[in-house]
Structure 1
Amino acid sequence: MRRGLTGTYEYSIAGGDTCQAFVPLPLPPRPALSLDADLQERLNAAHLALGRLDGLSLLMPETSVLLYSYVRKEAVMSSRIEGTQSSLADLLIYEADGAPGSPLDDVREVSCYVAALEHGRDRMRQGMPLCTRLMNDMHRRLMTQGRGRGKAPGELRRTQNWIGGASAASASFVPPPPHRLEHCLSDLERFINDQPERHPSLVKAAMAHLQFETIHPYLDGNGRLGRLLIPLILVSEGVLREPLLYLSLYFKSCRNDYYDLLQAVREHGDWESWLSFFATAVQVAAMQAVEMTLAITRLFTVDGARIRREARADEDALRLHHALFSRPVARRVDITAFNGQDAAAIDRGARVLTGLGLLRTVFGTAGEPIYVYTAYLDLLNREAP
């Protein structure tokens, strides 16, 4: 449905240029959403895929394994949209106090994404609603290190920004002026928390994400934080127990459609087309997460059986293999903390796993060995199952 312009334009100044900044109307849209049979079917399919993902996470022997890996994979993909070059291996080695193979600012930026998501999840578990204050706290952690660290972490912007183009005058989109941000975010916060009315969980996540991207309240990091809001909303809604759904890969692969649909909502009020795209993204991402979960479980089972068969069930190797299932890149101290193995036992197990081609060793900045479960890392690095 085309509702017409979903906001108002105001004159603003950016970089000495006069421009027209877009101020979105509060959610929900008016007239109300028109969920025809096709769109409802897409939303139902997305909900079904989310249910499978959430249910499968309960069957995992250790849910934290999946969460640890998927959070970091999403951090890499989301940051790549913003131009970083770091890989999942770079991030995990960096977290293990090693020396990443990509620029340090890149991998620090990705690490901050992990910290921001974990902070948001933990604060919500403590009873804090998803609100502007929490967004600011997450943004502060998101921008602590890396290329955005000097751009007012945790603070709403005080200057006009724009998207696309060399200047605001030639930009593809100009978000609200700074003096409008608090009001816009207050409206968004009320919508997320079911005021004035409740909306289905997926619809809420889709509309809140787009509205946040339209407001663009920070000097930098808006795209990453906007993508983080999606799994957190689904957790707050009880759709997922853990924030296991990540859409960055799908958005990256359909980047032009993504931006075109955002603009179509602003200019024409076509929320239904955006919801259809979003529902498909959720369905695809959830199905990929399910396939990845099954693949990880199969890998652990197959490799464990191989250790028992070819290494005569070597106890040190089996214990190390189990530890690396939880942390596919780990130092000796990490493994000891996990299962109590001492350095000698870890080294013995590492020799066995290396001989089977399951393990490689890299060395950190202080020369400390870092053990890498290669097949597991290769699996996580795949962009689609």
Structure 2
Amino acid sequence: MRAFIPPELPPNPPVELAGLHQHLDRANQALGRLDGLTTLLPDTKVFLYLYIRKEALLSSQIEGTQSSFSDLLLFESDAEPSVPIDDVEEVSNYVAAMQHGLRRIAAGFPLSLRLIREIHAILLRGGRGANRTPGEFRRSQNWVGGTRPGNAAFVPPPPERLMECLDSLERFLHDEKHKLPILIEAGLIHVQFETIHPFLDGNGRLGRLLITLLLCFKGALREPLLYLSLYFKTNRDRYYDLLQRVRTHGAWEEWLAFFLEGTEITARSAAEAAKQILTLFAKDRDRIQTIGRAASSALRVHEYMQKKPLVGIGAVADELKLSIPTVTVALDHLVRLGI
């Protein structure tokens, strides 16, 4: 199979937006409600802590990594996970890469090829990706599927054309003249990045991560609350089929309908999850209030563990400036209450 050089964005002929208006309206409404929810959350960090780690797990699992949420928490607490350390390290790197990108964008740094390389360097540091040139665009030919380019399902641009494709993508990213809706732009950029496949490894994870970073960079989200990995994982065959149909048939409208539907479903699910977490924490606080004099310290421990669900008694005592016996009693109450 010959290497594929993607045409520049925006597509020519232009995307037929008329047939996508309903999808786009529903996706924008769901995204707007999710973004608005951030003003109602008493502490967005609690929800983000859980949600970013869930996304890191799902995105890494798409690439074959075997790790659970508890494995990640154990690793972050310097304890021993139940799966190979490389698997958990990859998930932890995803969390760190996402946080780095968000910090840079919040500080005013543009979403650019330079930032993409920085994020990739963190994504692949240590673990199995350490020997796959983290933070460097590839200098050799890669392929998707098969054992060699000749029998591959897809062959990205050759290395000598790589920077040409990437520079074009970066220009589109910062070109305000096309005036496309942000979600349409995000859908186009995701396909283009996956088609260019600029790294030897980590392209899928980084491509999914870029969706959220782009929405934050463009101001569509105040907090990084939208992650499509579960939708892509659930519809894996359809996802890969549509990526390929864009390349072979220019089927942008099919892909964008799928992408917008995923955005709507995911945004609604995230908003519902946030509401359920708020309700759960409120019920827990009401139950803790019934235990009498120990309620004050138990509430503090409960609030701390929302941000760090797996932690040692000594660490909680140090952080909250409580005695170990006080923390122990508080935890006993939380266990007895089923919290």
- For residue 329 of structure 1, the aligned residue among 310, 330, 333 is 310
**CA distance, structure 1, for counterparts of residue 324 and residue 294 of structure 2:** 19
Is residue 316–residue 348 contact of structure 1 (8 Å, CA) maintained in 2? Answer: no
Identity %: 50
Determine which structure has the larger helix proportion and give its number: 2
Is residue 232–residue 243 contact of structure 1 (8 Å, CA) maintained in 2? Answer: yes
Alignment of 1:285-300 (within 5 A): 285-300=266-281
- For residue 18 of structure 2, the aligned residue among 30, 36, 53 is 36
- For residue 119 of structure 2, the aligned residue among 138, 157, 161 is 138
Alignment of 1:87-236 (within 5 A): 87-194=68-175, 196-236=177-217
Look up the match of 2:258. Answer: 277
Change (3 A) 1:211 1:337: farther
- Give the gaps of 5 or more residues in structure 1: 1-18, 359-385
Is residue 190–residue 196 contact of structure 1 (8 Å, CA) maintained in 2? Answer: no
Is residue 235–residue 243 contact of structure 1 (8 Å, CA) maintained in 2? Answer: yes
Which 4+ runs in 1 deviate beyond 4 A? 310-313
Look up the match of 2:50. Answer: 69
* Structural RMSD (CA): 1.5
> Which whole-Å deviations, capped at 9, do the CAs of 1:161-207 have from their partners, x for residues lacking one?
10011221111100000111111111111111125533210011100
Is residue 163–residue 172 contact of structure 1 (8 Å, CA) maintained in 2? Answer: yes
> Which whole-Å deviations, capped at 9, do the CAs of 1:320-373 have from their partners, x for residues lacking one?
111112222233465356543343322221121122232xxxxxxxxxxxxxxx
Alignment of 1:296-315 (within 5 A): 296-310=277-291, 314-315=295-296
Do structure 1's residue 23 and structure 2's residue 5 form an aligned pair? Answer: yes
Do structure 1's residue 256 and structure 2's residue 225 form an aligned pair? Answer: no
Determine which structure has the larger strand proportion and give its number: 1
**CA distance, structure 2, for counterparts of residue 335 and residue 270 of structure 1:** 54
> What TM-score do the two structures reach when normalised by structure 2?
0.96
Do structure 1's residue 244 and structure 2's residue 225 form an aligned pair? Answer: yes
Matched AA of 2:126: Q
Deviates more, 1:346-355 or 1:264-273: 346-355
Q: Cα offset for 1:312?
A: 6.3
Matched AA of 2:13: P
Is residue 152–residue 219 contact of structure 1 (8 Å, CA) maintained in 2? Answer: yes
Look up the match of 1:356. Answer: 337
